[in-house]
Each structure stands twice: as C-alpha cells, then as structure tokens.
C-alpha cells in the first residue's frame, strides 16, 4: 500500500506545485490592488477575503464581488486568474485521472486487494494456479461445497470470469504469473490455513516451477500437479510433489481395469461422481480387435493398457514418422472410409477416436458407425465447449481432459480417503465389487450417495473422543445407529477405517475406534447429519452405548448417584 501512496504523491507533485503557486499569486495580487469601499474610500482587501474570493473563483468562477463591488483593476486581475485557475484545475484533475488509469497503479491496487482478501481467509483453503477448463471446474465444485480457494491465472479475462461466476462464496483471484514465488506468496502459500496448492496451468514447465517453489518455501504444504509428460512427472516426483496427475494415463488405467473388472471400474467411476449424480450402469468392454485413431500421448497410454489387457489393437495415425509407431499401423486420419476399411473396421469390436482435434474425432465416430454400427465407441473430447456435440449418444464413453483432471483433484482435495479406499478395493475380486455396488444402490437408489470423512478428534467428534479417553469401547457400529432408537441402523456404509495399524476396507461394525482414527462413510445427507449427533453429543452417544439416557445436569447426576 505504501508504494501506491508514494506513486500517487510523486506523480501529483507538479500539478500541486502549480496549483499552490497560482492560488498564492492570485490571492496576493488581490490584497495589493486598491479597491473602493461603499463610502468611496480606498480599501485594500485582506488575505481572508482574498483567499475566500480566489477559492470560489477557481472552482466555480464566482458568487459575485465581495465584500464591495470591484474596481476595474480588481476585475482585470480576477479575469486573468479565472482562466489560469480553471486551466490549472483541469491539468490537476487530468493528471489524477490519468494516474488512476495507469496500469502500474491498477496492478498494484489489484495485488493489494488480493493480498488483503487472502489474508482475511480464516478457514482452510486451497491455492489454484490456472483457471482454464480444469481450474474453473475444480473451483466450481469446491465452491459448491463451500470450500474456499485463491486463484492465480495469467489471463485477466479468466479472472474476470471468476469474479462474475454465480456462487455462494467470494473467492479472491489475481491476474499474475504463478511461476513467480512472490505471486504464490500473495496467493497464500505461507498462510497458516492453506491446505494445498494445485498447479493446473497449460504449461508443464510452469507447473513444475510452482511445485518446486512451494516445496522450497513451505515443505509442509501438499502439492497437486498436472503433468503431460513422463519426464516432467519424474522430475516433479523427485522433490516430493504429493500427487501428479496425468489425465491420459489416469483414464487409460481405468479403461484397462474395465476390461476384466467391470464392477471395479464402475466403483471407481461412481466415486468420482458428485453426490446425487445418476448411477451409471455397468460398462462391458467388448473383447477382440480394437481400432485406435491417433497415436499421441492419449493413444499411447490407451495402447499400452489395452495390450496389457490382452486385446488386439490396430493403430491408425496420420504421421508415419512418429516414434514407436507399431509397424502394422495404418497411415491416415481415420476420418475416411478407405483408411478405416484398410484397418479392418468390419471385424473390429470397438474404436477409439483419440485425435487432438474434436471435429476429426466426431468425423471418425460418424464414419466408423456407418461402416459398422455395432462398434463400441470411445471418444476423446479436447474442448470443453464441444460437450453438446459429444453428448449425442454416438459414443459409449467420452474422455474429456478437464473433466478427468477436475474430478480426480476434487476427490484428492475434499475426500483424500476415497483414493485409499479405491486402491484397497482393487485387491478384491470383481464379485466383491459387484456386491458393494449393490449395497450402495440399496442405501441410495436415486443417485450417488454423499461420501464423507470423519476424524475421531476433540473438535470433530467431541463425544466419541471423550468416551474413548475415559476408556469406553466405542465401535464403528455405534456411529452407524440411530440415536432415536438404537436398534435401528442408519442407511450408511462404513467404507474405510484408517488407524495406527493401517487402513482397512469395509470395516466390520465390531472394529474398535481410537482417537485420531479416520473413517470414510457413504450414505444420505440426512444420515450424515444423524451421525453428527452420535459423534458430538454425549447424551446421544451415551444412549447408543448403554441404552440409557445419561443425566445431563450436576443435580441429575447427584440424584442418580444417591439412588444407586
């Protein structure tokens, strides 16, 4: 702020000097020029009246000649100075307006405002670098959960979009280069409430730089990065970036899973949903010969996974000079029937339109479907704006980069236990997963249930941690029963129990809790609220533990003691 004041003062020096001088001369002149009073005697105006007259002459050119009508000499002087003072004012105000529009000043003001807004955040928040497709999606879903974030982006129009977005909560944003440490500090990476930094810019090198900066300045902070190449990933991992997300790899891995474990795939697909979203049916990938159009980063990742899953993959790629291109690859776009026929579209079970151009991908889908209507189609969508085109039910599965990234990061930020749960779930077979999906459908038939984490600690589970410190045995089942009637269990599923010994998938109701345990539940919003009672309210928990209501007052306790 200091620098802004000094900038203004320095720029205003010349106009202020001029203004002072003009006023001084005009006032002095009026006191020196002889006037005439109402009795016709020579009269000299005093400084008080002269300054009064000059003040209103300069700004409004006058209330009249006071205290006596002017002589011609006085009028002459006033006439000259009316023009001079008005011109000086125009100059002064002009300078002030120009100064206000000055880019440096506006930038300094915006920075100052941003810094103040970030400093005032009093709840846990995230720093999001890059407000493109992915960043805006992520911020939107965080906002919906009333989680704060501060946003940095290189482009002013994106920051404007952030400010204009409809939302229940104000988020500070700044147009600035996120690779500069100073800007990251402004965004709050040293703020005690900052939880993690998400680097989602379009530039790999910038994401890398953000990760390094944060790890050097504040090693405690979690860093989540987007990476588009394996070298950058390795580099990021080398200095302890907490999560590196490659959208293509992540999608391809899930797809590989879907080949042999459709219900496992369905499970991980569900858990990327927001609560209330419809539950997708199981997706059965046909086995056999697949056509893969485009052998870029996406194509390569899919190629690897499908081969691992035992499929035959025929690559179609326009650039024959590409490194590592399979020898039997068909050269062409895949948008014409000739190339597709050459690749054997008739015998294929599915096609992946994986080019980095949306119109090509749409064209591939349409042509291929015309040649072989039974094809299973997977499409890569590059631009978020093209969603409507891909929403037409031509493709069985659409992969959109920003969607994959945003949902994955959202889960990491809001429910980190979900990832632990999913990786533990992979150890089980597919019928186990099928069983679990049926149980989820039973507790929440209309859409994906709410998933929440609960920590057994003094502030988030007051009653439970109190009971535990007193030595009472509290088990998972005590949390999942209704505090109105303890024989009724709430429609919730305990998905994960993480304690000092490790993490356990689908814990049994008899598992004992300890302080600092973390649990993951799925259920309706209402049962989540019900569970809060068991966690926080000693009477509710006491009833569930013993079946009796504990006296709440000192008098009640005393009476109970004397009765027994």
Partner 1 sequence: MNLEKVVFAFTIILALTLNFGFFTGDIGNAAHHNVYELYAAIFVNAIATILKFGDRTHMGAVLLAASLVADIQLVAAAGVWVFAVHVTDIGLTPATVASIVSLAGGAVIANTISVSLLVIETVMLRR
Q: List residues near partner 1 by CB under 8 A.
A: 2, 6-7, 9-13, 16-17, 20-21, 24, 27-28, 31, 46-48
Helices first, then strands: H and E counts in the chain: 24, 18
Helix (H, G, I), strand (E, B) or coil at 314: strand
Q: Which is nearer to partner 1, 91 or 533 (CB)?
A: 91
| CB 112 to partner 1: min, Å | 17
| CB 21 to partner 1: min, Å | 7
Q: Which is nearer to partner 1, 10 or 442 (CB)?
A: 10
Q: Which helix (H) or strand (E) segment is 210 a member of?
A: helix 204-217
| CB 20 to partner 1: min, Å | 5
| CB 24 to partner 1: min, Å | 4
What the block records as the tokens of 530 is 């019900």
| CB 10 to partner 1: min, Å | 3
| CB 173 to partner 1: min, Å | 29
Q: Which is nearer to partner 1, 93 or 446 (CB)?
A: 93
Helix, strand, coil fractions of the chain, as percent rounded to 5: 50, 15, 35
Q: Which is nearer to partner 1, 31 or 218 (CB)?
A: 31
Distance between CA 467 and CA 472 in Å, rounded? 5
Token match 């860093």: residue?
223
Q: Which helix (H) or strand (E) segment is 504 a member of?
A: strand 502-505
Any residues with CB less than 8 A from the CB of 333 and at least 6 apart, and which? 293, 316, 318, 339, 355, 360, 364
Q: Which is nearer to partner 1, 31 or 466 (CB)?
A: 31
Q: Which is nearer to partner 1, 30 or 520 (CB)?
A: 30
Token match 């109402």: residue?
38
Any residues with CB less than 8 A from the CB of 424 and at least 6 apart, and which? 496, 503, 504, 505
- Measured at the CA of 515, the angle between CA 509 and CA 516, to 5 degrees, comes to 100
Q: Which is nearer to partner 1, 20 or 341 (CB)?
A: 20
Find, among 135, 134, 132, 138, the residue nearest to 157 by Cα.
Answer: 132
Q: Which is nearer to partner 1, 10 or 119 (CB)?
A: 10
| CB 3 to partner 1: min, Å | 8
Find, among 446, 460, 464, the residue nearest to 525 by Cα.
Answer: 446
| CB 99 to partner 1: min, Å | 12
| CB 139 to partner 1: min, Å | 38
Question: Is-contact 523 443, C-beta < 8 A?
Answer: yes
Q: Could you write out the DSSP letters of every residue in 223-282? A: EEEE-SSHHHHHHHHHTT-SEEE-HHHHHHHHHHHHHH-HHHHHHHHHHTSPTTPPPPPP
| CB 116 to partner 1: min, Å | 22
> How far, CA to CA in Å, does 430 sit from each of 266, 310, 442?
10, 18, 18
Token match 């006596």: residue?
68
Q: Which is nearer to partner 1, 13 or 182 (CB)?
A: 13
Q: Which is nearer to partner 1, 10 or 392 (CB)?
A: 10
The sign of the torsion formed by the CA atoms of 431, 434, 440, 443 equals negative
Any residues with CB less than 8 A from the CB of 419 and at least 6 apart, and which? 411, 412
| CB 458 to partner 1: min, Å | 49
| CB 47 to partner 1: min, Å | 6
Q: Work out whether strand 518-523 and strand 450-455 pair parallel, antiparallel, or are unpaired.
A: antiparallel
The angle that helices 416-425 and 262-271 make with each other, rounded to 10 degrees, is 180
Q: Which is nearer to partner 1, 52 or 533 (CB)?
A: 52
Find, among 29, 39, 28, the residue nearest to 67 by Cα.
Answer: 39
Q: Which is nearer to partner 1, 13 or 392 (CB)?
A: 13
């Amino acid at each position: 702020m200091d620098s802004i004041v000094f900038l203004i003062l320095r720029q205003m020096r010349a106009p202020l000097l001029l203004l002072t001088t003009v006023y001084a001369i005009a006032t002095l002149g009026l006191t020196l020029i002889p006037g005439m009073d109402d009795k016709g005697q020579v009269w000299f105006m005093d400084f008080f009246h002269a300054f009064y007259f000059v003040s209103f002459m300069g700004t409004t050119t006058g209330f009249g000649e006071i205290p006596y009508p002017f002589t011609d000499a006085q009028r002459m002087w006033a006439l000259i100075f009316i023009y001079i003072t008005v011109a000086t004012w125009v100059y002064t105000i002009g300078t002030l307006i120009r100064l206000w529009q000055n880019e440096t000043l506006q930038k300094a003001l915006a920075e100052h405002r941003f810094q103040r807004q970030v400093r005032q955040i009093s709840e846990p928040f995230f720093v999001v670098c890059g407000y493109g497709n992915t960043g805006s999606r992520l911020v939107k879903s965080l906002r919906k959960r009333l989680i704060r974030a501060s946003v940095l982006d290189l482009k002013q129009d994106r920051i404007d979009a952030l400010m204009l977005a409809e939302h229940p909560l104000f988020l500070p944003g700044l147009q600035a280069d996120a690779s500069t440490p100073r800007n990251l500090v402004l965004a709050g990476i040293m703020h005690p409430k900052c939880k993690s930094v998400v680097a989602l810019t379009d530039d790999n090198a910038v994401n890398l730089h953000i990760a390094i900066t944060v790890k050097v300045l504040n090693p405690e902070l979690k860093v989540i990065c987007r990476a588009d190449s394996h070298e950058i990933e390795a580099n990021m991992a080398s200095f302890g970036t907490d999560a590196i997300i490659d959208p293509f790899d992540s999608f391809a891995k899930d797809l590989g899973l879907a080949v042999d474990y459709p219900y496992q795939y369905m499970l991980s697909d569900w858990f990327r949903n927001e609560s209330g979203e419809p539950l997708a049916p199981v997706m059965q990938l046909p086995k056999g010969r697949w056509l893969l159009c485009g052998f870029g980063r996406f194509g390569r990742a899919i190629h690897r996974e499908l081969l691992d899953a035992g499929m035959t993959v025929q690559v179609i790629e326009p650039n024959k000079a590409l490194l590592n291109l399979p020898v039997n690859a068909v050269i062409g776009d895949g948008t014409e029937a000739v190339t597709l026929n050459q690749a054997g579209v008739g015998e294929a079970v599915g096609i992946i339109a994986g080019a980095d151009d949306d119109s090509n991908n749409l064209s591939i889908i349409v042509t291929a479907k015309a040649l072989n209507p039974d094809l299973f189609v997977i499409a890569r969508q590059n631009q978020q704006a093209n969603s409507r085109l891909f929403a037409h039910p031509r493709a069985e599965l659409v992969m959109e980069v920003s969607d994959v990234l945003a949902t994955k990061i959202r889960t990491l930020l809001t429910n980190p236990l979900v990832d632990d749960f999913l990786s533990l779930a992979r150890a089980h077979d597919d019928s186990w997963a099928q069983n679990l999906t049926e149980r989820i459908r039973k507790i929440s038939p209309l859409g994906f249930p709410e998933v929440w984490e609960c920590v057994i600690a003094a502030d988030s589970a007051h009653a439970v941690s109190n009971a535990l410190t007193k030595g009472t045995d509290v088990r998972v089942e005590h949390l999942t029963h209704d505090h109105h009637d303890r024989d009724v269990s709430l429609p919730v599923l305990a998905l994960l129990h993480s304690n000092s010994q490790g993490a356990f998938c689908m814990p049994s109701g008899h598992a004992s809790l300890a302080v600092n345990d973390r649990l993951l539940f799925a259920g309706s919003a209402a049962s989540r609220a019900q569970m809060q009672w068991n966690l926080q309210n000693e009477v509710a928990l006491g009833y569930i533990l013993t079946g009796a209501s504990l006296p709440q007052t000192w008098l009640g306790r005393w009476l109970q003691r004397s009765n027994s």
